[in-house]
Copies of this chain bind each other. A is one copy, B any other.
Amino acid sequence: MLNAPAPADRVWDQLPREAQTQILDKRLRFYVIDAYRVAGDTELGRRINTIMQTCFFALSGILPIERALAEIKQTIQETYGKWGADTVQKNLAAVDQALAHLHEVRLPDHVTATRAFAPLVPAEAPDLVKTVTALMLAGKGDWLPVSAFPVDGTWPVGTAKWDKRNLAQEIPVWDPAICIQCNKCAMVCPHAAIRAKVYAPAALTGAPSAFKAVDYKAHEFPGFRYTIQVAPEDCTGCNLCVMVCPAKDKSNPKHKAIDMQPQRPLREVERHNYAFFLQLPEADRTAVKQDVKGIQFLEPLFEYSSACPGCGETPYIKLLTQLFGDRALIANATGCSSIYGGNLPTTPYGVNRDGRGPAWSNSLFEDNAEFGFGFRLALDQHSEQARALLSRLAPQLGTTLVDELLQADRHSEAGLAAQRQRVAVLKQTLSALASPEARRLTTLADYLVRKSVWIVGGDGWAYDIGYGGLDHVLAMGQDVNILVLDTEVYSNTGGQQSKATPLGAAAKFATAGKATPKKDLGLLAMTYGTAYVARIAFGGKDTQTARAFQEAESFPGPSLLIAYSPCIAHGYDLKFGLDQQKLAVESGYWPLYRFDPRRLDKGESPLQLDSVPSRSDLIQFMRNETRFRIVEHQDPERFRELVAAAQRHNAYRTALYQQLATVVPSTVARRGERSTSS
C-alpha cells in the first residue's frame, strides 16, 4: 500500500525501476491511497495516522473488517474524546473516507519504468557524505566499517543540506510583481528554506531561465537586483512565509506575493534556481543595515534542521547565526535544540565562504550554563595570552600593526572585518618568525577577533533542571549570552510540565490544567540588576526581537533572552503560530520588554516595556490552543476558574512591570551620592 497523490491507474508509471521490479518479482498486490487528500477533506490537516491504520486493517485481514472498524472507532472515542466532539467526528469521518479512497492497482506483467531511484544525496556532495552519511540516512549505518570514519573522530558540519527530505506537499512560490521586499518570509522560516538576496545585476549571468529577479527598491544597494528563493527540497511546507506575507494582490485578495503550490511539479526547476541562488555573492556585511529586513541578507549558518514544520524555536537560532554566526560559540542544553542541532548523521550548523561558522557542542541537561561559561573563561585566557604575546613580539611585528590589533574596534561589522584582515597580516608576518612565541601566537591569533558566547536551551533546562547553574552564571557577571527557547513545556520528551508551563495549560503531570503561574524567569534575572534581560516573541514584534539580540550581544556582561516559541505541543496548526504570538503579546500573556543595566548610566530606568496589553483576549488566546482547550473539555468549571486566575495574574504582572519601569534611577543616584559624604 502506497500513500501517493497519483490515482490508481497512473501510479504505476511514476514508480522507479527498483520498485516496479520488486512488486512484480514478489508477485505483490499493490494498493494506493491519497491519504493527505483524505486528511485534508476531513479537516485533519496532515494527520494521516487514522486513515493509514484503517487501510491497514482493511487489507491485512488480521480482524474481520467490521470488527476492526468498530474497534478503531471505539479507540478514537477514547483517545480524542477529551479534545472534544469535533476532533472525534473528524477522525470518524476519516475512517469512513479512508476505505472509499483505497484502490487496488492493476499491474502490468513487466517493468515499464526507465527511471531509477534518485541517489539519497546529490552527486556534488563530498566523499564522506556519499560514503558514510548517505548510508546512515538510508538506515544502513550498521553496514559501515570503522575504517570508513575519519581517523581523528571529526565530523563535518553543514551536512543537513545533503539530506533532501522533500517533506512538503506544497511549497511557496514568489511573485516579484507584488512583493514589497520586506523579507519577513525569510525571517520567519524555521528551516532557512526561503531566502533573500541583493546582488549586482552582473551576477545574473548564466541564471536559469526560470530564475526570478527584480530591481531592489531600497536605497542602500542602488542598481542591485533582488530575489526571494525557495529551497524546494528543504521546505517543510509549514506555511509560515505565506501567513506573514503582507503583500496582497489588490485585484485578487487570495493571491499574495507568496502562495503555496504543489511541490512535485516545481521541484526540478526550483532546485536549479536554488543552486544558482546559493552561488550568488553574499551581501557585504559591513554595508547591510542590520534591521529586521537587512538581517535577512546575512547568510544563515543554521539551515534545514530536523525541527518540526513550523517550529517556533529555530527562527531565533537562525537569526543568531545570521548576526553572530561567523564568530559564535554555542553551548547547547539537552532538548529539542540539541536534537535538531546535532542530529546524527547530519548537522544544520554550517560555515560561510570564508570557512567561518558557529562552534557548537552539547553537554548535559543540568550543566549547560556552566558549560558555556567555561567557553567564556577559555576565550578570555586565550585572548589575554595573544595580547600579551603581541606586546612582547611588537619589536619584530611592528608597533603599528600591534597597536592596531590591540586597540581595534571589536564590535562593529567594519571593525571586525578590519581586525580579521589585520590577523591575516599578523599570521603572514609570524610565518617568517621561528621563535616558539611566534608559533604560539600563530595558534592564538584568531582570538584577537571578538567571539560571541551563546548558551542555548529550552525551558526544561533554563527554568528547571539547569536553573541552579543558569542563576549562578547570571551572578558571575561574565559576558555570556543566554537564549531560552521557551515552549513552556518539556517538548522533546513528550510534553511534561515545566516551571515555564503557564497557569491553565494541561501538560503531563498537570493533566487537569496547571494551577500555579509560570515562573517569571526574566524577573528573577532582573533582580540582579547587572544582567541584560529581554522577553521576546518574533511573531509578536520582530523589530524588538532583532534589537534584543543585538543589545544582548553588545552588553559586556550576562544577557538573557527569553524567546516565546510556539510548539506542536501547544496543539494547533503552527501556520497560525505568528497570529498566536501576536495575541500572546497583545493580551498581556507574553509581555515584551528589555532590561538594560546600561540605561542606568544615562539616568533612565533599566526596564523598558515594549508592549502594552491592548486587548482583553487572553481567553481567546487560550481557546486557540489545545493545551488550554483540553481543560475546558474536561472540566468547564475548572477552566473558568483557571482563566479567571490567569487573568488576575496577568493584570497583576502588568501592574507590577509598569511600576518597575518607573523606578527612577536619577533620584536614586542622587540619594546615593548624598549618603557617600556622610
Contact = CB atoms under 8 A, between A and B. Distances in A.
Interface string A633-670: 00000000001100111111011100110111101110
Contact of A663 (B617, B620, B655): B655
A647 B672 contact: yes
Given A499-B472, A644-B676, A668-B648, A523 B527 contact: yes
Integer count of this chain's copies in the complex: 2
Nearest to A615: B678
A524 interface: yes
A616 B472 contact: no
Contacts of A471: 467-468, 471, 499
A390 B43 CA distance: 54
Interface in A402-417: none
Contacts of A554: none
A648 B663 CA distance: 13
A469 interface: yes
A529 interface: yes
A255 interface: no
A250 interface: no
The size class of the interface chain A forms with chain B is: 35 or more
Interface stretch (A9-17, A259-267, A513-521): A513-521
Interface in A507-549: 515-517, 519-520, 523-524, 527-530
B663 A651 contact: no
A281 interface: no
A527 B667 CA distance: 25
A667 B658 CA distance: 13
Nearest to A620: B678
Nearest to A645: B672
A674 interface: yes
A132 interface: no
Contacts of A668: 648, 651-652, 654-655
Contact of A675 (B475, B524, B647, B663): B647
A678 B616 contact: yes
Given A467-B468, A524-B524, A650-B672, 13 more contacts: A467-B471, A468-B468, A477-B515, A520-B527, A520-B528, A523-B527, A616-B675, A644-B673, A644-B676, A648-B672, A652-B663, A655-B668, A656-B660
B528 A517 contact: yes
Contacts of A516: 475, 477, 528, 530
